[in-house]
Amino acid sequence: MIKTHMLRNVYYGEIAQRYGMETAMDKHSVEGNLYLSFEGLAGDEHADQMHHGGPDRALHQYPAEHYVYWQKKYGAAYVERVNAQVAGMGENLSSLGMTEDSVCLGDRYQWGEAVIEVSQPRSPCFKISKRWAIEEFSVDMQAISRCGWLYRVITPGMVSVDQPLELIARVDNAMTIKAVCEIYFGDPLNTEKLLQLQEQTTLAKTWLNNVAHRLENNQVEDWNFRLFGHA
What residues contact residue 172 under an 8 Å CB cut-off, 6+ apart? none
Q: Give 10's strand partners.
A: 93
Q: How far apart are CA 24 and CA 176, in angstroms?
A: 28
Lowest mean pLDDT among 18-32, 43-57, 83-97: 43-57
- Are residues 122 and 148 in contact, defined by beta-carbon separation less than 8 angstroms? yes
Name the strand (E) or helix (H) holding 120: strand 114-121
Q: How far apart are CA 31 and CA 48, in angstroms?
A: 26
pLDDT given at position 13: 85
The whole-model pTM stands at 0.94
pLDDT tens per residue across span 132-158: 888 899 999 999 999 999 999 999 999
75 DSSP 8-state letter = T
* Domain ranges (residues) in the chain: 3-228
Q: Amino acid letter at 68? A: V
Lowest mean pLDDT among 22-31, 188-197, 202-211: 22-31
Q: How far apart are CA 112 and CA 108, in angstroms?
A: 13
Q: List the CATH code of the domain at 3-228.
A: 2.40.33.20
pLDDT given at position 68: 87
pLDDT tens per residue across span 156-182: 999 999 999 999 999 999 999 999 999
